[in-house]
Amino acid sequence: MSTEPAFVIVTGMSGAGRSTAAKALEDLGWFVIDNLPPGLLFAMAEEAGKVKLAADKVAAVVDVRSLAFTTDLNAAIEELEGRGVRVRVVFLEASDEELVRRFENVRRPHPLQGEGRLVDGITRERGILREVRANADLVIDTSSHNVHDLRNKIVAYFGGEDRPGLRLNIVSFGFKYGLPVDADLVVDCRFLPNPHWVPDLRPMNGLDAPVRDYVLGQPGAKEFLDAYEEVLQVVAAGYAREGKSYATLAVGCTGGKHRSVAMAEQVAARLRDRGMEVQVSHRDVGRE
């Protein structure tokens, strides 16, 4: 295990769950400061002993307060890393439609909408955060998550920070419902025959043995799994060299019910056998 100091910054879209993530980290024993201006990140790290000591479990939640947010945050990260602090940025994301719904439910304006509409504030915030999102170490899309789902995901990612190596989140999905916006890698399983057209298999999903056996028994399925397992080992090693600790692999088929579910489970099982830490979720099962 590395003794290099680490510091987690939680940021992202307003309404995407920053407070929930902060509470989850606190429940895991982290020292968390909420709503910290980027310019005070180094002072907080120094106060927490992050510069001179190899203490862990310290995080700060930062949000957009001005157009200089991105510049201020980048400068703060550069200062921390220049002093030997390993910084990890977690970005919380959600769709415009879901953010609008959440703000309307709590009857609060978006912090950047000013005299405009709610969607204007969301659009403005996305523009400011574009670079931060692109450079984040971990992006979590909370569009389909409730507070319990998000908490579980934070626990899965940060509940074992003392374990080295890449932590991989594998999510199955249906292309007809859109790509997961937090995916680092995307796999398309539509090259395999669709169990939807087999009457006995149609009501089932990829977690059911008959569907799993049907999908894995198709020409090319095993060959693909063998080849992609090797590819992921190369990718994981590269991510490790670049200091990336978390990644999301999205495995898709047409509806996210049969092929993608079965293949996602198989990829996860193979990687676990290689000693990799993997969690699996099935975004679109039951959506029909």
pLDDT tens sequence across 37-47: 887 887 777 77
**Which of the two residues, 2 and 48, has the higher pLDDT score?**
48
CA gap 163, 246 in Å, rounded: 12
DSSP code at position 129: H
pLDDT tens sequence across 108-123: 888 888 888 999 999 9
Known binding-site residue numbers for GTP: 63-66
pLDDT of 199 over the 80 cut: yes
CA gap 22, 32 in Å, rounded: 7
Confidence class for position 156, pLDDT limits 50, 70, 90: confident
pLDDT of residue 177: 93
Please, where in the chain does CATH 3.40.50.300 lie? 6-159
Q: Closest by alpha carbon to 45, among 74, 91, 90, 79?
A: 79
Axis crossing angle, helix 118-135 with helix 96-106, rounded to the nearest 10: 130
**Which of the two residues, 243 and 90, has the higher pLDDT score?**
90
Residues 6+ apart with CB under 8 A from 143: 93, 94, 95, 98, 181
pLDDT of residue 2: 42
Known binding-site residue numbers for ATP: 12-19
Residues 6+ apart with CB under 8 A from 3: 54
Give the tokens for residue 80. 């921390």
CATH 3.40.50.300 assigned to 6-159: yes
- Averaged confidence pLDDT in the chain: 87
Known binding-site residue numbers: 12-19, 63-66
Q: Closest by alpha carbon to 124, among 99, 88, 91, 89?
A: 99
pLDDT of residue 36: 82
pLDDT tens sequence across 170-190: 999 999 999 998 899 999 999
pLDDT of 7 over the 60 cut: yes
**The model's pTM:** 0.66
**H or E element: which one contains 7?**
strand 6-12
